[in-house]
Structure 1
Amino acid sequence: MSQGNGAAGRHAVVVGGGLAGVTAALALADAGVRVTLLEGRPRLGGLAFSFRRGDLTVDNGQHVYLRCCTAYRWFLDRIDGAALAPVQDRLDVPVVDLAKPAGRRLGRLRRDPLPVPLHLGRSLAAYPHLSLADRARVGRAALALKALDPADPALDAQDFGGWLAAHGQSPRAVEALWDLVGVATLNAVAADASLQLAAMVFRTGLLSEPGAADIGWARVPLGELHDTLARKALDAAGVRTETRARVTALRAEPGGRWSVELPGERIDADAVVLAVPQREAHDLLPEGALDAPERLLDIGTAPILNVHVVYDRPVLTAPFLAALGTPVQWVFDRTDASGLTDGQYLALSQSAARDEIDAPVAALRERYLPELQRLLPRARGAEVRDFFVTRERTATFAPAPGVGRLRPGARTKAPGLYLAGAWTATGWPATMESAVRSGAGAAGAALGALGRSRALLPGFLEEAA
């Protein structure tokens, strides 16, 4: 079966229903383009999704965003989901250190209503997990980091860990501050991360505006946002959305048009946005679409492990906390979002988890339950009702030095074919923010070629221009 563009005007096909693809489809439809969105999975949302486990609704992993994530905030507004994923009033992160000789020690990273960089000054001055000398050196490094230009391609070749060492940061400072933030946002320790990406994260999140690093997260299952509400928004915009629709080939046709092939169907289009992971994009790209398509295969991937524990009683009183001196990185209370009515459900988000991503569940249980008892005294007498793990082996692209030169832009050399995905050249690491920015950028590039106005594109694209 072949579907042409008929009398309905210009037609675009978006391949991939993650955040990048949904964003591209919405932006194109908002500009008056007829859009078909094709997703191979039975749901939308990409790698930020939910599933059922008994009576629980479980997110595959904990996803957060910051107030400075203007693209993802636009996305939430566009799907009428902002109230379901609010941002905390003011940055406040409890940080528990288990490595001190005195035992469990609590510190906090929080901001004051003061201009940058004074907004974090009091918090860092009282941060008990750093020595007085380290606190002073952290301030000097932060000022040096603020002076860097993330658009400078020379930074991409350097590693963040080496830069920190050269600026007087001790191993303890790296562990207790820089990696505390960086591992969660970059999915890599400082020594394995591009200075360019690290500079972008810290300058934007901590050193741009006082409230930039305030943390937001979904109070409902991610599937309610990225699938249910996204699908509703797509339907309202007139987008034809097909799941379980795996594209097998893209072919350029005479007259600058495209055919998108699926089992038993061919869809004709004036433009195609390819919003799939880099390896899948490599396999679908027609010859000549990129100068060096093999570079897509050189973009490494990094895993994230998520450990899920259901207790018979509350053991964590805060919405989340970060940890030092233990394998545990971040712990989130997902009780209300999951639908649990008795006990407490905690999710541990373990980034840069290459050494553990394939570990047996029994081994992970033996490793993490005692650590939770060390971290959360109330867990010591609690019954574990359920313990399971979710694994995203290719959760993000690896933000290694040199990755910037491998990330392609939205435009390809094939007229009418565009790329989107968190792995494309957005300037951001592999986050929900990067995915949304890429989708909007690809839509903007396509609109120009389709002769449609870009006036309705999201304002954050102008911010980045």
Structure 2
Amino acid sequence: MSAQRTAVVVGGGLAGVTAALELADAGLRVTLLEGRPRLGGLAFSFKRGELTVDNGQHVYLRCCTAYRGFLDRIDGAALAPLQDRLDVPVLDAAHPKGPRLGRLRRTALPVPLHLASSLARYPHLSLAERASVGRAALALRRLDPADPALDGLDFATWLGRYGQSGRAVEALWDLVGIATLNATAEQSSLGLAAKVFKTGLLSEPGAADIGWARVPLGDLHDTLARKALEAAGVRIALRTRVTSVTRTGEASRTGGTGWRVETEHDSLAADTVVLAVPQREAHGLLPHGALADPDKLLDIATAPILNVHVVYDRKVLRRPFFAALGTPVQWVFDRTDASGLTDGGQYLALSQSAAQDDIDEPVSVLRAKYLPELERLLPAARGAKIRDFFVTRERTATFAPTPGVGRLRPGPRTDAPGLYLAGAWTATGWPATMEGAVRSGSAAAQAALAALGRHRTSLPPSSTGGTPSRSSA
């Protein structure tokens, strides 16, 4: 009887957990190494007094088939339900008569008619702007997001060619794009923007229905993920930092080239290694010759996300979330129930993407900036007492989706047999999202299994549909 194949997965975020599950499901003996004391990567929870706080508000869409498959695999789908139909309240704080509410909603009509009624009544755009948006959307449907030529163009220039006003960009294209791409249209690759809008809004009527966790993210990405990994036979080592990954130079006992993964306290041998860590960390661990030009990884820039957390002494918001215009506030979510707050107060989380201007500001400056804006948007907040105000900062939350980034993103395979890459920054075709992270882990596992002559498809393969799911709506 041949020896059981072994694999080491470095990194316990969504990409690493996905890869570990698929490899274990295919019969490999898998060890998962994570430097933090928990799983979940950049989608995690922590305690603040009696509150359980998510580091950022993460959502996904109905067409995020890989992440939905991941939730099914860890028995977490019921804890992160989807809307019955897309419905996004949008408040314009700059309206002269006070905040004006509009809604982006879909019907059951075929694409693109499913959004036509909502767009026709969208009060934040003029009649001419609404018509112009419709024409641009039809042109967007004709683009191929995988076309390399689109990667080098910025989305704003393309929108300008199709007559999109500054107001249309603010009230629609950037409203969605900043939250999903973590960049403005000017800073976004046309290819990635086309992927977001074409798949999310222009593929199927229900593609953009929004889902989010009704429990702390740690309950899903740590607790349930760990339970699924352990049930699959994966050995999990937390607080374990990998210091090097090297080829042994000898044939492994299973017939392939062996690998040695060194940690601060241990040394592991493996037939297969998956590096599911951020691009700079991957660059530092890659052995010589693994990529033709490994320094390209260092050229993949990062972008920050800021989350502002406010606990009021009373209920000030009567909807689960809303998006905002005419204000620095982007998206606001009610996190009261998920956090465990039960004393009649309300906990709101503001998700601020592309937060380069705010990410390093002191808490006092952010408090002075955002609390008055919330009072503009929510009249009920004007007389409410602030019980707590704090911020969470992810300075390298995502890779920056700038024009040209596509040529920098490597696929799952390296030039070193048995070594694979995973992470939302790899060449998934998606922006940096939970969906992209899961797809990258699946792609790495599938590549490894193909090399071993095995196949496993417990999660949707990376070629299937889906769209961004990230720390904003």
Q: TM-score range by the shorter chain?
A: over 0.9
| CA–CA distance in structure 2, aligned partners of residues 391 and 455 of structure 1 | 37
Tell me by how many angstroms 1:414 deviates. Answer: 0.5
1:427 aligns with 2:429: yes
Residue of structure 2 in register with 1:133 after alignment: 128
Consecutive unaligned residues in structure 2, runs of 5 or more:
252-256, 467-473
Residue of structure 2 in register with 1:326 after alignment: 327
| CA–CA distance in structure 2, aligned partners of residues 140 and 266 of structure 1 | 59
Specify whether residues 263 and 7 from structure 1 end up closer, same or farther in structure 2 by C-alpha distance, changes over 3 A only: farther
Q: Which amino acid aligns with 2:414?
A: T
Specify whether residues 50 and 8 from structure 1 end up closer, same or farther in structure 2 by C-alpha distance, changes over 3 A only: farther
1:394 aligns with 2:399: no
Deviations 1:127-176 (A, max 9, x none): 00000000000000000000000110000000000100111000000000
Q: Which amino acid aligns with 2:376?
A: R
Consecutive unaligned residues in structure 1, runs of 5 or more:
1-5
Specify whether residues 8 and 53 from structure 1 end up closer, same or farther in structure 2 by C-alpha distance, changes over 3 A only: farther
SS at match of 1:227: helix
Q: Which one is further off, 363-372 or 93-102?
A: 93-102
Residue of structure 2 in register with 1:350 after alignment: 352
1:261 aligns with 2:262: yes
| CA–CA distance in structure 2, aligned partners of residues 68 and 169 of structure 1 | 27
Q: Which amino acid aligns with 1:241?
A: I
| CA–CA distance in structure 2, aligned partners of residues 340 and 399 of structure 1 | 36
Tell me by how many angstroms 1:8 deviates. Answer: 5.4
Is 1:444–1:457's contact at 8 Å kept on the other side of the alignment?
no
Given candidates 150, 173, 182, the residue that maps to 1:178 is 173
SS at match of 2:294: coil
1:410 aligns with 2:412: yes
Correspondences of 1:35-434 after superposition (within 5 Å): 35-253=30-248, 254-255=250-251, 256-342=257-343, 343-434=345-436
Is 1:312–1:383's contact at 8 Å kept on the other side of the alignment?
yes
Deviations 1:11-52 (A, max 9, x none): 000000000000000000111111000000000000000000
| CA–CA distance in structure 2, aligned partners of residues 203 and 426 of structure 1 | 16
CA RMSD of aligned residues (A): 1.2
Tell me by how many angstroms 1:7 deviates. Answer: 7.4
Tell me by how many angstroms 1:103 deviates. Answer: 2.1
Q: Which amino acid aligns with 2:7?
A: A
Q: Which amino acid aligns with 2:70?
A: F
Tell me by how many angstroms 1:462 deviates. Answer: 5.0
Tell me by how many angstroms 1:455 deviates. Answer: 4.1
| CA–CA distance in structure 2, aligned partners of residues 154 and 303 of structure 1 | 27
Identity %: 77
Q: Which amino acid aligns with 1:359?
A: E
Is 2:443–2:461's contact at 8 Å kept on the other side of the alignment?
no
Q: Which amino acid aligns with 1:335?
A: T
- Superposition TM-score, scaled by structure 1 size: 0.97
- Superposition TM-score, scaled by structure 2 size: 0.96
SS at match of 2:374: helix
Deviations 1:37-94 (A, max 9, x none): 0000000000000000000000000000000100000000000000000000000000
Deviations 1:354-384 (A, max 9, x none): 0110000000000000000000010001000
| CA–CA distance in structure 2, aligned partners of residues 397 and 463 of structure 1 | 22
| CA–CA distance in structure 1, aligned partners of residues 339 and 456 of structure 2 | 39
Is 1:70–1:460's contact at 8 Å kept on the other side of the alignment?
no
Residue of structure 2 in register with 1:3 after alignment: none
Tell me by how many angstroms 1:457 deviates. Answer: 4.2
Residue of structure 2 in register with 1:451 after alignment: 453
| CA–CA distance in structure 2, aligned partners of residues 198 and 218 of structure 1 | 25
| CA–CA distance in structure 1, aligned partners of residues 229 and 8 of structure 2 | 13
Q: Which amino acid aligns with 2:196?
A: V
| CA–CA distance in structure 2, aligned partners of residues 334 and 397 of structure 1 | 26
Residue of structure 2 in register with 1:12 after alignment: 7
Is 1:51–1:60's contact at 8 Å kept on the other side of the alignment?
yes
Tell me by how many angstroms 1:464 deviates. Answer: 6.2
| CA–CA distance in structure 2, aligned partners of residues 222 and 265 of structure 1 | 30
Is 1:30–1:456's contact at 8 Å kept on the other side of the alignment?
no
| Runs of 4+ displaced beyond 4 Å | none
Q: Which amino acid aligns with 1:20?
A: A
Is 1:309–1:346's contact at 8 Å kept on the other side of the alignment?
yes
Deviations 1:87-130 (A, max 9, x none): 00000000000112222100000001110000000000000000
| CA–CA distance in structure 2, aligned partners of residues 335 and 273 of structure 1 | 38
